[in-house]
Amino acid sequence: MTELTKLDLLEWLRESRPARLQSLYERANAVRKEHVGDAVHLRGLIEVSSHCVRQCMYCGLRHANRDLPRYRMTREEILNCALQAERLGYGTVVMQGGEDDLLTAKWVEEIVWWIKRETRLAVTLSLGERSRDEFELWRLAGADRYLLRFETSDENLFRVIHPHRYSGTPGRLSLLRQLKSLGYEAGGGVMVGIPGQSFESLAQDILTFRALNLDMIGIGPYIAHAATPLGSGALRPAISPSEQAPASEEMVYKMIALTRIVCPDANIPSTTALATINKVDGRKLGLKVGANVVMPNLTPSKYRRLYEIYPAKACIDESATDCNQCLRGQIHSLGRFAGHGPGGRGMLETPVGIMPDAGANLVQLQA
């Protein structure tokens, strides 16, 4: 298979002919099947805190959004979610939150320890830009993976939409390299269609996924949130209309498909943001064009609404058991099966279990 150059990627990103796009999606689906198989891994998402000290110009959790009541889950609530994840047969829990200074290094460490001791779950953290010492402490406590999307590889746009907390902190690409060097599986990703985001920068994003050798890559549409400067239109990064990438469903499918072709063995979720812009079958279509992961929400219902990164999030009223059943139904309707194990990179699964030659990886991950 010929490698895709930046020019090829750009051409695909601008492609709109249905037959051509169909051929791209079929190719991505074949690459997905060959490299990561038919398993769809379930990652239980626990939104541990909606407090955030940052001011990201697109995110509803930004500190300046005073209209949003904030919450922080207790340790017991988090541990109960982890136990529920196990009961539902998930292989992984993802602890995600805003940059909340009260989620101290020690607090997170103890929760990771407990989950690793009491369950067989892989633990993924997604707690924003934290220090190397914290990453190291949590890794030693048993955390397996860390998610930190870099949102866009366009440095100018990144700066405009992420006002700095401290000067001199490492950029997200450096943090992702740091995470990998500590032995984490590292996940990056981008939003698609951010105001000011060009087609060209999206092509560069895909090349950046490959250059970083990311283990996980999350891609979702940008969704305007009226309580943010980007969403209200108060902030309008300059760009010519012909360069602006749309925040459309099709654009997200193209990005997922091209990412699958360029990074064949990465774990790629069909994201909640995608399911939000097409509530009927966004999640399923993502799985058909290259994705192999879904992230059912485990956050207790009293908090769900308050984790409002963007409006009208999918599954806001459904319980954890509703989503579990719904997703398993969707996975089976595609002729695929739900993964049983932790679903790390390079762990191929068959419908009945983990393939024997994936054993080496499994031992490594759990060591």
Compute the Cα dihedral for 102, 106, 111, 115 and give only its sign.
positive
Listed in sequence order, the DSSP H helices in the chain are 6-14, 18-36, 75-87, 105-118, 132-140, 155-161, 172-181, 199-212, 229-232, 249-262, 272-277, 282-288, 301-304, 320-333, 359-366
Nearer to ligand 5AD, 228 or 324 (CB): 228
327 binds ligand FES (CB under 6 A): yes
| DSSP strand pairing (349-350 vs 337-338) | unpaired
Dig out the tokens for 124 from the structure. Answer: 């993924």
Distance in Å, CB of 36 to ligand FES, minimum: 21
Binding to ligand 5AD by CB under 6 A, coded x per residue (else -) over 176-195, reads ---------------x----
The partner in contact with residue 15, picked from ligand 5AD, ligand FES, none with C-beta cut-offs of 5 to 8 angstroms by kind, is: none
Q: Which stretch binds ligand 5AD (CB under 6 A): 220-228, 294-302, 312-320, 355-363?
A: 220-228
Residue from 318, 346, 348, 350 in contact with ligand FES (CB under 6 A): 318
Longest dimension (CA), the chain: 55
225 binds ligand 5AD (CB under 6 A): yes
Closest chain position to ligand FES (CB)? 326
Residue from 194, 287, 315, 354 in contact with ligand FES (CB under 6 A): 315
Q: Cβ(216)–Cβ(185) under 8 Å?
A: yes
How big is the chain, counted in residues? 367
Nearer to ligand 5AD, 151 or 154 (CB): 151
Q: Cβ(196)–Cβ(157) under 8 Å?
A: yes
Closest CA to 82 of 50, 48, 39, 130: 48
Q: Which stretch binds ligand 5AD (CB under 6 A): 4-12, 30-38, 152-160, 218-226?
A: 218-226
Distance in Å, CB of 345 to ligand FES, minimum: 24
Distance in Å, CB of 149 to ligand 5AD, minimum: 4
The partner in contact with residue 309, picked from ligand FES, ligand 5AD, none with C-beta cut-offs of 5 to 8 angstroms by kind, is: ligand 5AD
Question: CB atoms < 10 A from the CB of 58, how many?
Answer: 22
d(CA 256, CA 218): 9
274 binds ligand FES (CB under 6 A): no
Residue 79, phi-psi category: left (phi > 0), alpha (psi -120 to 50), beta (remainder) = alpha
Q: Cβ(188)–Cβ(149) under 8 Å?
A: yes
Residue from 47, 99, 151, 308 in contact with ligand 5AD (CB under 6 A): 151
Residue from 39, 59, 256, 268 in contact with ligand 5AD (CB under 6 A): 59
Q: Which residues bind ligand 5AD (CB under 6 A)?
A: 58-59, 149, 151, 191, 220, 222-223, 225, 273, 309-310
Interface residues with ligand FES (CB under 6 A) are 296, 315, 318, 322-323, 326-327
